[in-house]
Amino acid sequence: MAIKTRLTTPKTHYRAVIVCGLVLIGLCQPVWALTPVTLQLRWLHQFQFVGYYAALHQGFYREAGLEVTLKEGRPGLDPVAAVLSGQADFGISVSSLVIDYLKGKPVVMLGPVFQHSPNVLVAHGQDTRLVDLVKPASKIALMGGDQDVELKAMFVNEGIALNRLHFVPDAQHLDDFISGRVAAVNAYISNEPYILSQYGVAHTVLRPLTYGMDFYGDVLFTRQAVLTNKPDAVAAFRAASIRGWQYAFDHIPEMIDLILHRYNTQNKTRSHLEYEALALQNLVNPDLIAIGHSNPGRWLNIAKTYERFGLVQIDRPLDAFFYEPERSIDLTWLYWTLAIFLIVAVVIVGIALYIHRVNRQLALALEEKSRSEERHRIIFQTSASAGVVWREGFIVTDWNRQAEVIFGWTRHEVLGKSFIDFLLPPTARESLAQQFSQLVRNRALPHSINQNLTRDGRVITCEWFNAWLPDRSGEPYEVVSLANDISERQRLEEEIRQLAFFDPLTQLPNRRLLKDRLTHLLAALRRYGKQGALMFLDLDNFKPLNDLHGHDVGDLLLIEVARRLTECVRNIDTIARFGGDEFVVLIGGLDADAQQQAQQVAHKILTQLAQPYHLARAEDAATIEHRCSASIGVALLNGKTNEEDALRRADTAMYRAKESGRNCVAVDTQVFGTTPIDTAEHIAHRRIQLNLELLQHPHGSTL
């Protein structure tokens, strides 16, 4: 028996080796059998596509069996054309993808990333309204085609005919806007408002969402052939991409580091990417809405808007436009087979048992429905958000405990009343009621941020999220709206921004914001070929005022100097407090006569600052008259200038102005207003003396 066992052992070993080999091959298969696919992005790399970067670098695509290549977009590239021609398997488009579908192109929408479109209109000035743009001289720059439909629809919804507006092509974009050649320009809410704020350009952001236009943004799609031939790859790619987006919004600082090191082809700063991340997170709203969620009724409303502008005709249903993973596997035959067997089983068991079983199932269903409604009722009442349930006519049918806390009215006081009459400010009731009515008729309920009233008359800012409740036979449709009071959050965000970027005494930009704006100005000079100037300004005769009257009076002088400087330059220029009694003026958009133009501005500043100061001290109501001049050093800027060189040259020029008798201007090595002392040894010696004076007698009241 032992001999027989020994003789068969080698065969057993061979079989074991073969089995182990097959197991190893099976385990290794996912590594070498990755399916290659390509994603075409809409534009140059930026935070707008961070979810796909996260899915790639966190290995989500490889875990799904995919080898993904990301193709960067560029001006003039059409992602739809790239996908339909086979240059890419997947692409990122906008809501106009439904136009391509209705025109017969074989596109399949996999899901929108942004629940709300980032497309906005930026206009000059604060609190500008759409009606303010109805002027022949008010040019509105748009991209043209179907990309601007939602912007034009804002005017239509406000009752403004498009033939009353002056639309022009978007040629030089922000350059046209900053220079005043156009009154308004199309923009992305995550990009241009940040740039304009850095330049100090007063502007108003007009959002289509505010005027009842709620389009999707950045829609992931593929072509029908890819879905037919590789349904598993499509499902895996969509799931891994959504997972990447969720990871990205949970790890924003990490994603910004990734973009800065791997994808920063637009040379954006960290603060710009942080602003973009916050803006896009509000559009996606991943905490309340599943990424990729799509509403067919809302898509139909978008298609009708395009049809109203004559871009397409709705001549077929949108069913094939939506991605449905289940349709790749037809299980109809299985359902029929199971149904037949169930019928046969019921007949065999008997009519009595069948009736008993049906009755039992109905009883369980009713019991489960009752428990489910009770669970939802408990969740609604204990929600951390203020909850309102309402029906047609905005009549309140339910009101939770948090709504009582935030708004002040009890549930019994508001039931059966229209919330338009007590929750909305009187000045906005009529317009908002019309917008709400239109949205309800179109079955569209967007996320919104509104001003609301409380019972004690306070006005608070609330962020609202709305959803239709399940239909009940014979009962009116109802909507549940959840609100969070974000007034304090907005105040803190503004306070943090003010502390981070502005001087608390003069309210001027501080060094940090100055450096950021200088970086942007130099980048603009390199791009557009213009010139600029940086002025370093130091007050003369400031120390005696502090020594004689104290730092509180010195603070009053610095505040008045800041006000006078503001009157000497344009809104698009930057005035910053560098520290103590030192200020910096940053000017862009100068032409070939940049030196002469900078000199004119500098002498205008000297004239203004030399006027007598009347400083009223609060504690004794005394008015102190003081005269104070300034020394200004100017460095001219062009596309080849760097930040350190600009500040160094302006600082050196300022010391030359000090050496030349003060109350004058020096442009690099040339002094205007006096005879220059330009020997290098004498300038260096005088600068050492001035620094020693500053150390012994610090001038400036607060830093």
Mean pLDDT of 26-39: 70
Mean pLDDT of 151-163: 86
Most confident of 280-294, 327-341, 380-394, 575-589: 575-589
Q: Which of 93-107, 201-215, 557-571 has the lowest mean pLDDT?
A: 201-215
Q: Which of 118-122, 353-357, 427-431, 567-571 has the lowest mean pLDDT?
A: 353-357
291-341 pLDDT, tens per residue?
988 889 889 999 998 888 888 899 999 999 999 875 444 455 666 777 788
Query: Would you state the pLDDT for residue 374?
Result: 64
Q: What is the DSSP letter of 34?
A: P
Q: Percentage of the chain with pLDDT > 90?
A: 46
Q: Which of 165-169, 354-358, 397-401, 661-665 has the lowest mean pLDDT?
A: 354-358
Strand, coil or helix: what is 546? helix
309/609: higher pLDDT: 609
Query: Would you state the pLDDT for residue 364?
Result: 60
Asked whether residue 359 carries a pLDDT value surpassing 80, the answer given is no
Mean pLDDT of 613-618: 84
Query: Would you state the pLDDT for residue 682?
Result: 44
332/601: higher pLDDT: 601
Query: Would you state the pLDDT for residue 543?
Result: 82
What confidence category does residue 575 fall into, taking pLDDT thresholds of 50, 70 and 90?
A: very high
Q: Taking the alpha carbons of 506, 507, 513, 518 in that order, is the dihedral positive or negative?
A: negative
Query: Would you state the pLDDT for residue 465?
Result: 87
d(CA 537, CA 605): 10
What confidence category does residue 694 fall into, taking pLDDT thresholds of 50, 70 and 90?
A: very low
Query: Would you state the pLDDT for residue 435?
Result: 74
482-537 pLDDT, tens per residue?
999 988 888 888 878 778 789 889 999 998 899 999 999 999 999 888 899 999 99
Query: Would you state the pLDDT for residue 568?
Result: 93
Helices 192-199 and 270-284 cross at an angle (nearest 10°) of 140
Mean pLDDT of 568-597: 92
What confidence category does residue 266 fall into, taking pLDDT thresholds of 50, 70 and 90?
A: very high
Would you call 4 exposed, middle or buried from its count of C-beta atoms within 10 A (0-12, 13-18, 19+)? exposed
Query: Would you state the pLDDT for residue 89?
Result: 97
Asked whether residue 703 carries a pLDDT value surpassing 80, the answer given is no
Mean pLDDT of 240-252: 95
Amino acid identity, residue 290? A
Please name the residue that has the structure tokens 């006005």: 459
Query: Would you state the pLDDT for residue 334?
Result: 64
Query: Would you state the pLDDT for residue 326?
Result: 52
Q: Which of 73-77, 291-295, 668-672 has the lowest mean pLDDT?
A: 668-672
d(CA 167, CA 701): 51
**CA 658, chain centre distance (Å):** 46
Count CB atoms within 10 A of the CB of residue 11.
9
**CA 29, chain centre distance (Å):** 42
Which helix (DSSP H) or strand (DSSP E) does residue 575 occupy? strand 574-579
Q: What's the number of CA atoms in the CB half-sphere (13 Å) around residue 308?
A: 13
Asked whether residue 557 carries a pLDDT value surpassing 50, the answer given is yes
Amino acid identity, residue 185? V
495/105: higher pLDDT: 105
Q: Which of 84-98, 222-236, 344-358, 579-593 has the lowest mean pLDDT?
A: 344-358
User: In whole numbers, what is the pLDDT of the chain averaged over residues?
Assistant: 84
**Residues with Cβ < 8 Å from 125, sequence gap 6 or more?**
132, 202, 203, 204
Query: Would you state the pLDDT for residue 5?
Result: 37
Query: Would you state the pLDDT for residue 85?
Result: 95
d(CA 558, CA 554): 6
End-to-end CA distance of the chain: 98
What confidence category does residue 17 fall into, taking pLDDT thresholds of 50, 70 and 90?
A: very low
d(CA 4, CA 6): 5
Query: Would you state the pLDDT for residue 103?
Result: 92
Answer yes or no: are the C-beta atoms of 674 and 661 closer than 8 Å.
yes
DSSP character string of 472-526 = -TTS--EEEEEEEE-HHHHHHHHHHHHHHHB-TTT--B-HHHHHHHHHHHHHHHH
**Would you state the structure tokens that stand for residue 364, as one six-digit string?**
């369980």
What confidence category does residue 676 fall into, taking pLDDT thresholds of 50, 70 and 90?
A: very low
Q: Which of 139-143, 164-168, 326-330 has the lowest mean pLDDT?
A: 326-330
Supply the pTM of this predicted model: 0.47
Q: What's the number of CA atoms in the CB half-sphere (13 Å) around residue 566?
A: 12
Mean pLDDT of 217-242: 95
Query: Would you state the pLDDT for residue 497?
Result: 79
438-475 pLDDT, tens per residue?
777 767 777 788 889 999 989 999 998 888 887 776 67
Answer yes or no: are the C-beta atoms of 127 and 205 closer than 8 Å.
no
Query: Would you state the pLDDT for residue 136?
Result: 79
Asked whether residue 634 carries a pLDDT value surpassing 50, the answer given is yes
Rounded-to-5 percentages of helix, strand, coil across the chain:
50, 20, 30
Query: Would you state the pLDDT for residue 396?
Result: 92
124/374: higher pLDDT: 124
Query: Would you state the pLDDT for residue 699?
Result: 40
Strands (E) across 354-477 are located at 386-391, 395-399, 448-453, 459-468
CA-nearest of 534, 533, 535, 539 to 631 is: 539
Q: Which of 261-275, 378-392, 396-410, 686-700 has the lowest mean pLDDT?
A: 686-700
Q: Percentage of the chain with pLDDT > 70?
A: 85
d(CA 373, CA 398): 14
d(CA 89, CA 163): 41
What confidence category does residue 685 fall into, taking pLDDT thresholds of 50, 70 and 90?
A: very low
Query: Would you state the pLDDT for residue 363?
Result: 62
What confidence category does residue 273 fall into, taking pLDDT thresholds of 50, 70 and 90?
A: very high
Amino acid identity, residue 289? I
Which helix (DSSP H) or strand (DSSP E) does residue 260 occupy? none
Asked whether residue 90 carries a pLDDT value surpassing 90, the answer given is yes
Q: What residues does 112 pair with on adjacent strands?
A: 219
Query: Would you state the pLDDT for residue 3?
Result: 36
Query: Would you state the pLDDT for residue 697?
Result: 42
Answer yes or no: are the C-beta atoms of 165 and 172 closer than 8 Å.
no
d(CA 116, CA 298): 11
Q: For the stretch 218-227, what's the b/e string if a residue is b when 16 or more beta carbons lie within 10 angstroms of its beta carbon?
A: bbbbbbeebb
